[in-house]
Amino acid sequence: MVGETERDGMTWYECEQCGLLFDNRDDALHHEENCDAEEPAYIQ
């Protein structure tokens, strides 16, 4: 599932598998379908 988070007054969509943030829900959904991360990777 793609999560939603607000930051800087914008809504971001987060891949719950790897933690990547997207400003476009479709991009996040598409990414997550293809995401093969098995553990969260928090790279800042």
Q: What residue ranges bind Zn ion (CB under 5 A)?
A: 15, 17-18, 20, 35
Sign of the CA dihedral running 37, 25, 43, 6: negative
The nearest distance, CB 12 to Zn ion, in angstroms, is: 13
The nearest distance, CB 17 to Zn ion, in angstroms, is: 5
3-state helix, strand, coil in the chain (%, to 5): 25, 30, 45
Residue 6 or 33: the one with the smaller Cβ distance to Zn ion is 33
The nearest distance, CB 4 to Zn ion, in angstroms, is: 15
